[in-house]
């Protein structure tokens, strides 16, 4: 269930969850067994985020709001 939820996560959410888990682990509150489960979850998220990051492609949109622009012949 958790795994499935994590698969739906965005990079942003994943990164936030990793930090959250790190803090939880740092607090020393969870029992060892739970800590291990959290750690495992975070490791999965890191892999997932890495995958998202390498799979994503930057979007570029050209805004033509500046109407009446001359044909662009300028040098970059």
Partner 1 sequence: MNREAISVSALNRYVKALLEGDEVLSQVWVEGELSGVRVHEASGHIYFRTVDASASVKAVMFRSYAQRLRFLPADGMKVLLNCAVTLYERGGDYQLSVRDIVPIGEGGRQTQLEELKERLEKEGLFAAERKRPLPARPRRVAVITSSSGAVIRDIQNVAGRRDPFIELQLYAVNVQGALAVNAILRAIEALNENGGADLAIIARGGGSKDDLWLFNDEALVRAAAQLKIPFISAVGHETDFTLLDFVADLRAPTPSAAAELAVPDLHAELQRAWEQLAGMQASLSRSGAQLALRLTDAGAAVAANAAAQAAACRDKLARAQALCDSLSPLRVLERGFLYATKDGKAVRGAVSLKAGDRLSLTFRDGSAGCTIDEVSAQ
What are the residues binding partner 1 (CB under 8 A)? 10-12, 15, 18-19, 21-22, 25-26, 28, 32, 35-36, 39, 42-43, 46, 49-50, 53, 56-70, 72-76
Shortest spacing between CB 36 and partner 1, in angstroms: 7
Shortest spacing between CB 40 and partner 1, in angstroms: 11
Closer to partner 1 by Cβ: residue 4 or 64: 64
**Inter-helix orientation angle 32-55/11-27, to 10°:** 160
DSSP string, 15-52: HHHHHHHHHHHHHT-S-HHHHHHHHHHHHHHHHHHHHH
């Amino acid at each position: 269930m958790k795994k499935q939820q994590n698969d739906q996560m965005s990079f942003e959410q994943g990164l936030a969850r990793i930090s959250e888990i790190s803090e939880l682990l740092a607090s020393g509150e969870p029992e060892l067994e739970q800590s291990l489960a959290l750690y495992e979850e975070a490791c999965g998220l890191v892999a997932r985020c890495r995958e998202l990051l390498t799979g994503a492609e930057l979007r570029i949109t050209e805004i033509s709001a500046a109407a009446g622009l001359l044909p662009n012949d300028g040098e970059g």
